[in-house]
Structure 1
């Protein structure tokens, strides 16, 4: 067993709605003690700047480039993360001396695995200096340098959690994260890990209701619950070659686009896209080694009752049950941030973050860059 460290994980996902902060005590292997967690929302003006940054980032050809105002956005994003840490420590009666490391995801603004290119805004050195705590960041790049897709990185944490699931969670178990993009982690009865992105998550729904009604997301699936699924529109998404391609690949939020304004009413569009989110998960699960028996659902999408209802119905038809993370004793809001804390500890110990069965990397590899708080120095993990 390795040294047990106290780590804070920071996650700002593809939904770009804020920062999740979570504390974990772990050896980066089988010991996981989950601590407090909090979500810190971005103000609407900054969220708009992040959305604009996605467009600017399309011109990036090399990871270190920061065209337009991206350098300013990166600095402001990092300072918001530093403020979130300071507030979190204060709220939980902790000091920087109580924390060994921060796992900093940053904000993905470009992800093109076919070009070996992934860009997460976030200045690890600045965050280390502001927080006074060592930071591990840029954890996707080394995987890509060794032939991987750069995503998903969380499966190794799912595997650690799977060791302590309730007895009624039959294996194979699949952890489903429904964020902006959905992804699956399969844990076989023998502990085998297979993981990949499964399709659109909340992003299409968010984009649809924002464009049609000026609402940032469909809270609880309330809008979708008033509509009906438009079969032809759903089929257009589910017939996408992504689902039938022999090789799994990681998705960028631009791989799927929301419907045009005239293709459905507000409610029917939200209902159709909720169905697409659920059906995409089951369709992608067809690429797994065995048919799952339990789906544990994490991420914001688990709060959309229409997605969950469709997912439960489709899974039941295949002999599986669907439960939200909370029914498995987990926190579906903080799980990704917890994973980033866990990954930071693994990175410090040189343990693999990714595997051939998760990202397609040629062999298990570690990764991440360490920014030391006391010197602002930066080195490979």
Structure 2
């Protein structure tokens, strides 16, 4: 039995840092299994944070240079982590950081040049997991459902609450997944205005009052009426959400409270519509799972239809890094790692681009 030893690297839309997870992944008796053995999250310094946040607005040349520089930085972080912990690594799986995602225009771009990453780290790198699916007519997202299906088959619903919310589940014998809509992106946008990185444990939101008019405006957004497969990102947040928030003169606590109610209404609507079986569980990961007001509100909206399951903190925080490590294993084996039933592409594919060090 071969054990793949992979370093998974993930930077999400919430920009709360670079997640690194050293994983052992193996297949025994036709069942995939894993162990997350070592982890860290590296915060971005102020300059890199701003560069990544504003990457969508950069000129073509500035964007190219950031792609290179960020790839070198990723490679340096990987090398430091591997050496610090004395790890054996077969290869590195890097999601990179999404700067552009407009699949309807066949555009998706993940910053972090794979060749530079390989050169700086000294290890084989598998990255750029979205582009092939987009060229096949897919959304290029969400990609985590391959892990939900093969690594976590005991959960009926897998919900991830990063900058945006996405969900995956089986229906009619196929895996379905899509971006529901908002999660932490608007919450962090609001707390930044009062010099907080985030609302720890949802303490501010819990104190707030519901703003019925804002809730109605959010629930009426066109994106929620679109059929799946669908995905969204920072562009939608800029165009549709920020103007609504900035038109309001309400207290931050009330805005946070209302956003969480909105998020949970949309998530519960999706789950309840699927008519879950009795005792169904929804596995919740991503930063939103650490916000107790978010979780309490979600369970309230779900009622008896489904039970919210919150796993250990390490799994919450590093699930996506684990799944990209797993996707790289499947790519290395030449096996499918993106489902067309999820993304809407013409066919399943084995996505990712391989780079070996050139020094």
- The TM-score with structure 2 as length reference comes to 0.91
- Aligned mates of 1:281, 1:104 — CA distance in 2: 28
- Aligned mates of 1:288, 1:314 — CA distance in 2: 15
Question: What residue number does 2:295 align with?
Answer: 308
Secondary structure at 1:214 match in 2: coil
Quick one: structure 1 residues 372 and 68, their matched pair in 2 at CA, closer, same or farther if it must change by over 3 Å?
Answer: closer
- Aligned mates of 2:123, 2:52 — CA distance in 1: 26
Question: What residue number does 1:275 align with?
Answer: 261
CA shift for structure 1 position 260: 1.3
Aligned 8 A contact 1:143 1:150 in 2 = yes
Secondary structure at 2:256 match in 1: helix
Aligned 8 A contact 1:162 1:187 in 2 = no
- Aligned mates of 2:149, 2:312 — CA distance in 1: 17
Report the count of equivalent residues: 350
| 1:119-170 deviation digits (Å, cap 9, x = unpaired) | 111110011111111001111011111121000111111112224x5xxxxx
Aligned 8 A contact 1:220 1:304 in 2 = yes
Between Structure 1 and Structure 2, the one with more helix by share is: 2
| 1:189-247 deviation digits (Å, cap 9, x = unpaired) | x9742111111110011112223x13222122122122112121112111222222233
- Aligned mates of 1:73, 1:262 — CA distance in 2: 35
CA shift for structure 1 position 372: 1.0
Secondary structure at 1:6 match in 2: strand
Secondary structure at 2:96 match in 1: strand
Quick one: structure 1 residues 287 and 241, their matched pair in 2 at CA, closer, same or farther if it must change by over 3 Å?
Answer: farther
Question: What residue number does 2:211 align with?
Answer: 230
Q: In the alignment, is residue 175 of structure 1 matched against residue 158 of structure 2?
A: yes
Aligned 8 A contact 1:298 1:333 in 2 = yes
Question: What residue number does 1:9 align with?
Answer: 8
Question: Which of 192, 196, 202 is residue 210 of structure 1 equivalent to?
Answer: 192
Secondary structure at 1:196 match in 2: strand
Aligned 8 A contact 1:12 1:19 in 2 = yes
Aligned 8 A contact 1:354 1:361 in 2 = no
| 1:285-333 deviation digits (Å, cap 9, x = unpaired) | 356485682111100011111211110111124x210021229xx7100
Question: What residue number does 1:49 align with?
Answer: 51
Secondary structure at 2:248 match in 1: helix
Following superposition of structure 1 onto structure 2, how do residues 53-64 of structure 1 map, counting pairs within 5 Å? Answer: 53-56=55-58
Secondary structure at 1:331 match in 2: helix
Structure 1 regions of 5+ residues with no counterpart? 57-65, 166-170, 377-381
Once the two structures are overlaid, the 10-residue window that deviates more, 344-353 or 213-222, is 213-222
Structure 2 regions of 5+ residues with no counterpart? none
- Aligned mates of 1:31, 1:348 — CA distance in 2: 17
Aligned 8 A contact 2:72 2:113 in 1 = no
- The TM-score with structure 1 as length reference comes to 0.86
- Aligned mates of 1:180, 1:359 — CA distance in 2: 19
Secondary structure at 1:235 match in 2: helix
Quick one: structure 1 residues 291 and 236, their matched pair in 2 at CA, closer, same or farther if it must change by over 3 Å?
Answer: farther
Once the two structures are overlaid, the 10-residue window that deviates more, 234-243 or 141-150, is 234-243
Question: What is the CA RMSD across the aligned residues, in angstroms?
Answer: 2.2
Secondary structure at 1:151 match in 2: coil
- Aligned mates of 1:238, 1:10 — CA distance in 2: 34
Aligned 8 A contact 1:202 1:277 in 2 = no
Following superposition of structure 1 onto structure 2, how do residues 1-381 of structure 1 map, counting pairs within 5 Å? Answer: 3-27=2-26, 30-56=32-58, 67-94=60-87, 98-163=88-153, 165=154, 173-187=156-170, 192-211=174-193, 213-256=194-237, 257-258=241-242, 259-260=245-246, 262-285=248-271, 288=274, 293-317=280-304, 319-326=305-312, 331-373=315-357, 375=358
